[in-house]
Chain A
C-alpha cells in the first residue's frame, strides 16, 4: 500500500465511510512502522552488546596474558643435550666442606654408543670398527666390541662415561653409526679423603640422551632427595667436615695402622657443643672415584667400604667407666673422694671380674677411674642398679643407632645384652657386654664435657646447639668429668696422649675381641677417647685401633695406653693448629707452696 493507493481510494470512493477506512489504514501503518522500528532498535542493541562483549573478551585475554608475563619467573638456563633440550636442573647438587671446598660435583661427560644396524647399512666392516675403537679408547676390548658390533639389532654402549678427549678421538674416526650422548658423572676431587662420609652414586635410569644419578651410600644416599632438589641445584650442600683436618687425620691413622700393625682404624673428631662431625676416618678406605668391586675376594677380605665409625659396633672397654663415674656423681651415689672397695676378683654367675694390674684394696672414685679398676666400677654399678644404668646410657644415645646423615648409620645399631641383669650391669660399667660405634662414644663424651647436654652426631654445618631439654648431667658433674679426664692424661694411663699447650684429657679403653664362646687373649680393640682443651672443651677425638700391638723390649703390649693414646697425642698435635687453636703457654708447677719455694 502506497500513498498513491490511498489517493486513488480517496478519489474513486467519494462516499461516506471512506475517511474511516483511510484513518484505520493510517493507524495500522503507523503501528506497523513502530513495530519495525522497535525490531531494528532491538537488533542494533543486541549487536552493540555483542561487539562490546567480544572486545571485552579480547582485551581481557590480552590483559590476562600481560599479567601472566609480568608475574612469570625467568626460566632456567638451558643446555642442549643431543637432540632434545633439557633444563640444567636435572643435575645433582655439589657437596662442599665447612670452608666451601668441593667434595663432590657433577661433571659433563659423554656416553659413546653405536647402532650396529646403521653400521651395516653404511657398509662398514665391524672388524675394522672394533679394531679402531679398541685402539682409540682405553678399556675397550677388541674381541668383545666385535661381538657386540656384529649383532643384528639394538644399541650397544661403547664406553660410558667417556671423557671429552675420548669423545673427540672417536668423533675424528668418523665411523658411521657411532653416536654420542650427553651424561653427567660425579667426581670426588678429594679422592679417598672423606670417602666414607660421601659414599658414592649409581646410575639409576639411563637412556641415550641422559642418565639420572642416585645416591648409593654415605651422604649421597641419606640426603639423596635434598641433593636432587631442582630448586637448590645451584647452591652446594655444606657439610660439617673440614677437609684439611680430615686429610691430616687420615694420614695419621695411615701411619698408626702401619706402626701398630692394626687391621683397621677409626677416628672421629666432633665438636662437643653441637655434635658436628669435623672429620671421620675409617681405615681401610677406598677412592669413591674408582669404587672397588664389592664382590671381589680381596675386597671382601678387607671390606674397605664398611664405615667402621658409623656401622662398626665394638665393645669400647674402659672408656665407659667415665659414664659410670658421671652417673654416680650426678645421682649422689658417690663423690670423687668416696672410697670404693677394689678387692678382687669378684665372682658372679661363673664369671670372674678382676683388675688389669694390682691395686690397693680401697681407692677413691677418682683413683678408680684414673687407675681404671674394673672391680671398683663394678661395685659402684651395682649401687646404681641395672635400670638406672640402662636409662642413663639410653639418655646418652647408646641404645639405638645414631642419626648421622649417612646411609650406613642405621646399620650401627648397638648390641645390647639380652638380659640386663646384675652381671651385665657390672660388665657394662667397664665397657664389656655392650657394643656400640665410635660415633656413639664421641657423642657420649661430648655430653660429658660440654656442660651436660646430649648431642646428636651430625654432618650438617651449623647444627643447632642443644638446649636445657637435652640435659643429661649437671654442669658441676660435667666440670668434674673434665678434671677427671685431664688427670688421666696428666698422671694416669693416658700420659702418652698429652700435648703441651692443649690440656688434653682422655680415657683409655682396651677390650678383648670376642670370639665364639668367649674372648681372644691376644686380640684387642684399643680405644682412646679424648677431649681438648679440658678447661673449655671444644673437640672430642675418638681413636680406635683394631688388633694393635706395640713391642717394648721384646714384649707385646696391646693396651690402649700404649697404642691408641700415643696416636691421639700425635693427632691432636697436628689437628689443633689446623683447627686454629693457639697452644696455651703451660705454667709448670714449680713449687706447691711458698715454704717449699723458699726452701729450694
Chain B
C-alpha cells in the first residue's frame, strides 16, 4: 500500500514539474510577444506622429497661401471678407461638370411606397377634435 502511495506521489511530482516548466516557458514566450507588440505599437505611434507632422506641414498656412496663389485661375479662392460671408447650407453644392446631361431627377416623394391608390390618411393627433 505504502509503495503505491510513494509511486503515485513521485508520478504527481513529475507531472507537476512538467506542468510548471511548460507554463514557465509559455509565459516567457508570451512576454516576448507582448514586448514585440509594445515595440510595434511604439513604432506605429511614432509613424503616426511623423505623418501628423507631415500633414501639418503640408497644411501650413504659408504653404496653403502659396498654393492658393498658384492655383488662383483654377480654384478662384479669395479672402473671406464680410461681403462673401455665408454658411455652408446657404451655398448650392457644386455640380461636377463631367460633360454629361443629368439623366433624371428623382423626387424623394416618388421613392416612398404608397398603400393603394390614395395616400394613407394622416393619423389625427391625440386630443384634437374637429370643430
Which residues in A have some Cβ–Cβ distance to B below 8 Å? Answer: 75-80, 85, 88, 94, 101-102, 105-108, 187, 189-193, 243-244, 246-248, 251, 499-502, 573-574, 576-578, 582-583
Contact = CB atoms under 8 A, between A and B. Distances in A.
A101 B85 CA distance: 23
B82 interface: yes
Nearest to A572: B82
A499 B82 contact: yes
B54 to A, nearest CB: 9
Given A190-B60, A244-B61, A77 B45 contact: yes
Contacts of A500: 82
Interface in B10-64: 35, 38-39, 41-43, 45-46, 49-50, 52-53, 55-57, 59-62
Interface residues of B, number: 27
A573 B84 CA distance: 11
Contacts of B128: none
Contacts of B46: 79, 88, 108
A190 B56 contact: yes
Given A77-B42, A187-B53, A189-B57, 16 more contacts: A76-B38, A77-B45, A78-B38, A79-B46, A88-B45, A94-B52, A105-B52, A106-B49, A107-B53, A108-B50, A190-B61, A247-B62, A502-B82, A574-B79, A574-B80, A574-B81
A85 B36 CA distance: 12
A577 B84 contact: yes
User: From DSSP, what is the main secondary structure of chain B's interface residues?
Assistant: helix
Contacts of B79: 248, 574
A264 B7 CA distance: 96
Contacts of B80: 574, 577-578
A578 B60 CA distance: 16
Contact of A577 (B39, B61, B85): B85
A193 B61 contact: yes
A502 B42 CA distance: 50
Q: Which of A79, A187, A247, A574 has the most chain B CB atoms closer than 10 A to its own CB?
A: A79
B52 A582 contact: no
Contact of B49 (A77, A78, A105, A244): A105
A500 B49 CA distance: 44
A253 to B, nearest CB: 14
Contacts of A79: 39, 42-43, 46
